[in-house]
């Protein structure tokens, strides 16, 4: 890693990720309704406000009894107890169970005071006014006891827990309707280029559709980002300047797309500088995605993504997404690489990491076999849409034979199952 925070020449992908993660800040915690919290991180320890279960309840449809009343019951010596009433899972206290009686209880019903066990309905013979039992009752059988899972004051969820569906269910169990989380960043997305038009309209010669805005909006939404402001701009410095400043003012993270290479109409770097964004690095020794620009303005982050669709997706996924994950307080923010064995030889003639699209499958020794896909050119998205993995071929020049070990990201954007 270069010293300080700013680098001028191409840096390695590893250095780039480290710089992004060192620069990215966690959001300030906010209270958030449970329905909007999936995948977010709990900002503080949450104690249980009460015992749970709140009251002892039956885990079966059956009959509440005192153990002593069925002490002598057996198949040969059935015992009948008069029925004192019924309690279903509903508001209201159950009637007490008088000695020598039984009470019909449904699953979830509070067990009556005095009841020591619930006998399953299937194990009885049910009459109009009396129930017959064919064996003794076991103390506590089929009763979930008040407070047996959670004691009031105990930690319900620890700070840093990801709010998975069961974690959200647990909060709701104890009556929480909101929770303190690190809210996702507001993201501004600026696609740039005189050639771009929105999908759906007729094309003039030389025009192409802006495929990256819908792609990255979807990727952001999948990462939990709901507030996305997307704009499309021609390659005009003044227009770009105004749009960028506007997005920067209203966002925590701005992603620009295109215009960061060395072309005559690549104005974005100039736009960043004149808007006071501090450069942290420009250019990463990788393919695709070498021209990536990264900087910060106060606590806000700016990613200048290259315009080729595959390059934009790789840079977004390896770096910008890690910043989003850091923002929402996740502990592991970088991509989670696995290792696999190449199914065929691969050559990398260039002195930069080659991130290849490919597939993976379990091999016969409990690992994975990985295979590059066809269609690795930077403008091609078809191979990403059709394959499941991103392979990391180390910086060359080198040739890896079939059987060599390489890192890969499984489920790269879902892919084909």
Q: Decide if residue 224 touches ligand AMP (CB under 6 A).
A: no
Hey, is 344 helix, strand or coil? coil
Q: Which residue is nearest to ligand AMP (CB)?
A: 307
**Count of chain residues binding ligand AMP (CB under 6 A):** 18
Stretch in the footprint of Mg ion (CB under 5 A) among 53-61, 119-127, 163-171, 191-199 = 191-199
State the minimum distance, in angstroms, from the CB of residue 379 to ligand AMP. Answer: 6
State the minimum distance, in angstroms, from the CB of residue 234 to ligand AMP. Answer: 11
Stretch in the footprint of ligand AMP (CB under 6 A) among 71-79, 259-267, 296-304, 401-409 = 259-267
State the minimum distance, in angstroms, from the CB of residue 157 to ligand AMP. Answer: 41
The binder of ligand AMP chosen from 62, 94, 306, 372 (CB under 6 A): 306
Q: Decide if residue 193 touches Mg ion (CB under 5 A).
A: yes
Q: Decide if residue 258 touches Mg ion (CB under 5 A).
A: yes
Q: Which does 211 bind (CB under 5 to 8 A by kind): Mg ion, ligand AMP, none?
A: ligand AMP
Asked if residue 337 lies in contact with residue 407, where contact means CB atoms within 8 angstroms, the answer is yes
Rounded Cα gap, residues 295 and 278, in angstroms? 5
Asked if residue 155 lies in contact with residue 47, where contact means CB atoms within 8 angstroms, the answer is yes
Asked if residue 124 lies in contact with residue 108, where contact means CB atoms within 8 angstroms, the answer is no
Q: Give the footprint of Mg ion on residues 274-333 (CB under 5 A).
A: 307
Using only C-alpha atoms, what is the Rg of the chain? 31
Q: Decide if residue 220 touches ligand AMP (CB under 6 A).
A: no
Q: Decide if residue 23 touches ligand AMP (CB under 6 A).
A: no
Q: Decide if residue 116 touches ligand AMP (CB under 6 A).
A: no
Q: Give the footprint of Mg ion on residues 58-77 (CB under 5 A).
A: none
Rounded Cα gap, residues 257 and 62, in angstroms? 65
Q: Decide if residue 210 touches ligand AMP (CB under 6 A).
A: yes
Tell me: cis bond preceding 53? Omega within 30 of 0 counts: yes
State the minimum distance, in angstroms, from the CB of residue 382 to ligand AMP. Answer: 14
The binder of ligand AMP chosen from 94, 259, 358, 372 (CB under 6 A): 259
Q: Decide if residue 258 touches ligand AMP (CB under 6 A).
A: yes
Question: How far apart, in Å, are the Cα atoms of 301 and each of 320, 324, 414?
Answer: 9, 10, 26
Could you tell me which of 367, 378, 366, 317 has the C-alpha nearest to residue 342? Answer: 367
Q: Decide if residue 254 touches ligand AMP (CB under 6 A).
A: no
Rounded Cα gap, residues 252 and 225, in angstroms? 11
Q: Decide if residue 257 touches ligand AMP (CB under 6 A).
A: yes
Encoded one letter per residue, x for contact with ligand AMP by CB under 6 A and - for no contact, window 159-198 reads: --------------------------------x-x-xx--
State the minimum distance, in angstroms, from the CB of residue 195 to Mg ion. Answer: 7
Q: Decide if residue 219 touches ligand AMP (CB under 6 A).
A: no
Backbone phi, psi, residue 170, to 5°: -65, -45
Asked if residue 393 lies in contact with residue 352, where contact means CB atoms within 8 angstroms, the answer is no
- Cβ within 8 Å of residue 146, ≥6 positions away: 51, 53, 54, 55, 56
Rounded Cα gap, residues 191 and 108, in angstroms? 55
Length of the chain: 417
Q: Which does 308 bind (CB under 5 to 8 A by kind): Mg ion, ligand AMP, none?
A: ligand AMP
Q: What is the DSSP-derived secondary structure letter of residue 41?
A: B
Rounded Cα gap, residues 65 and 77, in angstroms? 17
Rounded Cα gap, residues 101 and 97, in angstroms? 7
CB-wise, 96 or 208, nearer to ligand AMP?
208
Contact positions toward ligand AMP, by CB under 6 A?
A: 191, 193, 195-196, 208, 210-212, 257-259, 261, 263, 266, 306-309
Contact positions toward Mg ion, by CB under 5 A?
A: 193, 258-259, 307
């Amino acid at each position: 890693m270069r010293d300080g925070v700013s680098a001028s020449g191409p840096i390695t992908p590893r250095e780039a990720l480290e710089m992004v993660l060192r620069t990215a800040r966690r959001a300030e915690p906010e209270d958030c309704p449970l329905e909007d919290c999936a995948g977010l991180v709990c900002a503080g320890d949450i104690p249980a406000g009460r015992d749970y279960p709140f009251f002892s309840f039956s885990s079966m449809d059956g009959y509440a009894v005192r153990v002593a009343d069925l002490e002598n019951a057996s198949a040969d010596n059935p015992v009948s107890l008069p029925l004192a009433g019924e309690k279903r899972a509903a508001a209201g206290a159950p009637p007490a169970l008088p000695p020598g009686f039984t009470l019909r209880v449904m699953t979830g019903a509070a067990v009556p005071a005095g009841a020591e066990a619930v006998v399953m309905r299937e194990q009885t013979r049910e009459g109009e006014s009396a129930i017959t039992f064919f064996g003794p009752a076991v103390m506590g059988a089929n009763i979930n006891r008040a407070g047996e899972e959670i004691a009031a004051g105990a930690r319900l969820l620890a700070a840093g827990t990801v709010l998975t569906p069961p974690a959200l269910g647990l909060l709701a169990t104890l009556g929480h309707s909101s929770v303190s989380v690190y809210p996702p960043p507001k993201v501004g997305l600026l696609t740039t280029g005189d050639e771009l038009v929105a999908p759906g309209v007729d094309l003039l010669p030389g025009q192409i559709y802006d495929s990256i805005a819908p792609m990255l909006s979807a990727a952001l939404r999948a990462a939990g980002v709901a507030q996305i402001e997307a704009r499309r701009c021609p390659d005009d410095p003044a227009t770009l300047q105004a749009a960028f400043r506007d997005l920067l003012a209203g966002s925590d993270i701005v992603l620009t797309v295109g215009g960061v290479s060395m072309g005559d109409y690549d104005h974005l770097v100039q736009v960043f500088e004149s808007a006071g964004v501090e450069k942290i690095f420009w250019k990463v020794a990788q393919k695709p995605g070498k021209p990536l620009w990264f900087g910060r303005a106060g606590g806000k982050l700016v990613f200048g993504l290259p315009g080729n669709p595959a390059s934009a997706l790789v840079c977004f996924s390896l770096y910008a997404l890690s910043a989003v994950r850091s923002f929402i307080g996740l502990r592991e923010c970088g991509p989670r690489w696995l290792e696999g064995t190449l199914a065929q030889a691969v050559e990398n003639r260039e002195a930069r990491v080659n991130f290849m699209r490919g597939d993976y499958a379990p091999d016969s020794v409990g690992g994975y076999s990985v295979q590059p896909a066809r269609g690795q050119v930077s403008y091609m998205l078809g191979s990403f849409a059709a394959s499941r993995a991103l392979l990391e071929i180390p910086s060359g020049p080198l040739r890896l034979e079939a059987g060599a070990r390489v890192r890969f990201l499984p489920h790269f954007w879902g892919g084909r199952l």
